[in-house]
Amino acid sequence: MSQSADTAAAQAWTFFRQWLKNPIKMASITPSGQQLAGMMLAELPADARRVVELGGGTGVFTAAMLARGIAPSDLMVVELNAELSEHLRRRFPQARVVQGDARELPALAKANGFDDGVAVDAVISGLGMLSMPKALQQQIMAAAFACLRPGGRFVQFTYGPKVPVAREVVEALALDVRKGGMAWRNLPPASVYVFTRR
């Protein structure tokens, strides 16, 4: 088995163990695939430099953003799960990995030196929004948009057939939403949605 296959297998096992511990909080039984990562990154603004990732998992999106050229100092990865946070720190020692709650994003950015007066260009989310109550969805989205610059984008994927954030939340926060790509090769297949302020 090659080193990359070994790495992928180790990441899948780490992710699966966390799913077994709490299947409700994990959006999937397996990490996201490369096709989905590519589609998520394709929705970043063309000039995106500063990015926040919510729900870093095993680091599929993190690796793709670093490979794309997002500087480690301009990327903050937020992961609530302690074991996954530690995994991300080991895998990406140069990146800013924060164990914390996405609802507290502005405070986390400030406490971790990511709030230096420059707004974030995009938030990429691997959170399982579809399974969350509306109130929690709204708290997370509000926190993200509090950090985003005007015209910034919140990029979210979902395994469900529709927009993963409740219509009431979209309306309450005055957001526009459009569907991006569909990652058919992902397991399971996933859709990408992009949220912006009106």
**Residue 67: φ, ψ to 5°:** -65, -30
The answer to pTM > 0.75 is yes
The average pLDDT across 113-123 equals 90
Q: What is the pLDDT of residues 37-90, one digit of tens each?
A: 999 999 999 999 999 999 999 999 999 999 999 999 999 999 999 999 999 999
**pLDDT bucket at 117, cuts 50 / 70 / 90:** confident
AA identity, residue 149:
R
Tell me the average pLDDT across 148-172: 95
CATH architecture for segment(s) 33-197: 3-Layer(aba) Sandwich (3.40)
Of all residues in the chain, the percent with pLDDT exceeding 70 is: 84
- Is-cis flag, bond preceding 161, omega within 30? no
Distances (CA, A) of 79 to 66, 73, 147: 17, 17, 17
Rounded Cα distance, 103 and 113, in Å: 18
